[in-house]
Homo-oligomer: A and B are copies of this chain.
Amino acid sequence: MQIDPGTLDQTSIYKLLISSVVPRPIAWVSTYDADGGPNLAPFSYFMAITDQPPTIAFSCSPRASGKKDTLTNVEALGQFVVNIVDDDRAEQMNLTSGEYLREVDEFALSKLTAVPATKVTAPRVAEAPISMECNVVKILPVGRAHLTIGEIVHWHVRDDVYDPTTGRFDMHRLKPLGRLTGNLYSHIHQIFEMKRPNPDYRG
Interface residues of A (CB under 8 A from B): 1-6, 10-25, 45-57, 59, 61, 64-65, 84, 90-91, 94-95, 97-101, 118, 130, 132, 137, 140, 142-145, 147, 149, 152-159, 162, 166-169, 171, 174, 176, 178, 180-198, 201-203
B178 x A171 contact (CB < 8 A) = no
A48→B46 CA distance, assembly (Å): 8
B118 x A2 contact (CB < 8 A) = yes
A181 x B169 contact (CB < 8 A) = yes
Residue of B nearest to A12 (CB): B167
**Which residues of the partner chain B approach A84 to less than 8 Å between Cβ atoms?**
20-22
**Which residues of the partner chain B approach A95 to less than 8 Å between Cβ atoms?**
197
A25 x B14 contact (CB < 8 A) = no
B188 x A186 contact (CB < 8 A) = yes
Residue of B nearest to A14 (CB): B51
